[in-house]
Amino acid sequence: MKFFVCIKQVPDVYAPLQIRDGEIHQDSDRQVLNAYDASAVEEALVLTEKHGGRVDVILAGPEKAHETIRKALAMGAEEGIHLQTESTSGQDSASYAHLLATFVKEKEFDVLSFGKQAQDTDSGLTGAMVAQLLDLPYTTNAVGLAIEGDHLIVTRQGDIGQEIIALPTPCVVTCSNDMNDPRIPTLKGIMGSKRKPVEVVQASSLHGTSLASGFTGEALTHTTSFESMPARKAGEKLQGEADEIARQVAKILSEKTGVFS
């Protein structure tokens, strides 16, 4: 079975950062493979090791994201495709989805997988948008994958429990980081990744091809500024016996919320 796993380079969420003048400033420029995408890569590798097939990874991002592709290749993916953009500014879920869908629409694959969201935006929209653009069956928030014949069996986490869905291939799936523990590349894998091919495609060459009526592939959302979370107000500690505290709570609810009015 042929897997295309779409990955993203994101800022290291554990690196110190500050918000100044409406912009994010990091003390270091540490960039990493999105954790949700790492789980998608791991699951694809596990399935192909068991059933046969191959795993290729696709990344849309600037030139410096090349090293993130090498991380996925060191894990075991066979080939990388870099849809090279000028920068990450001016990009959103819709523009990334358009780039990815435009590139893969003529490719042969069985499963197109994503992490369910990116650590930098937490939008969780790109996979569903690509499925819509390509008119493919899809499901989200997968916590387990299996192969039965020409179907991908997806165990997904729903709001009230787990659901099991059989997707015909080709299909799209987005993966939770609760699915597995991604492998740490070995020294042999790291050295071998340097010899694996990475195809570089300029994103500008994919612009201008609309896959949906009225959609040009341009960003539909724009970030104007960032703000720090407001400080939480100090809590109020109630003193006294249980019945006295209960009366105080009832009074507060009545005065501040009108719940007993």
**105 lies in some domain:** yes
Query: What one-character DSSP code corresponds to residue 215?
Result: B
Q: Which domain holds residue 106?
A: 2-206
How many residues are recorded in the chain?
261
Going by C-beta distance under 8 Å and a sequence separation of 6 or more, which residues neighbour residue 111?
A: 1, 2, 3, 4, 44, 152, 169, 170, 171, 172, 173
Domain with 121 in it: what CATH number?
A: 3.40.50.620
Q: Same structural domain for residues 150 and 250?
A: no
**59 lies in some domain:** yes
Q: Same structural domain for residues 56 and 160?
A: yes
Q: Same structural domain for residues 202 and 253?
A: no
d(CA 103, CA 231): 45
**222 lies in some domain:** no
d(CA 63, CA 86): 8
Residues 11-70: tens digit of each pLDDT: 887 777 777 777 777 666 788 899 999 999 999 999 999 999 999 999 998 898 889 999
**30 lies in some domain:** yes
pLDDT over 60 at 211, yes or no? no
Q: Same structural domain for residues 242 and 181?
A: no
Q: Same structural domain for residues 9 and 55?
A: yes
**12 lies in some domain:** yes
Q: What is the pLDDT of residue 177?
A: 92
pTM, two decimal places = 0.82
**27 lies in some domain:** yes
Q: Same structural domain for residues 182 and 253?
A: no
Is residue 227 within 8 A of residue 124, CB to CB? The reply is no
Residues 35-47: tens digit of each pLDDT: 999 999 999 999 9
d(CA 70, CA 189): 10
Q: Which of 223, 222, 215 is nearest to 98 (CA)?
A: 215
Distance, C-alpha 63 to centroid of its chain: 20
Q: Same structural domain for residues 250 and 150?
A: no
Q: Same structural domain for residues 49 and 113?
A: yes
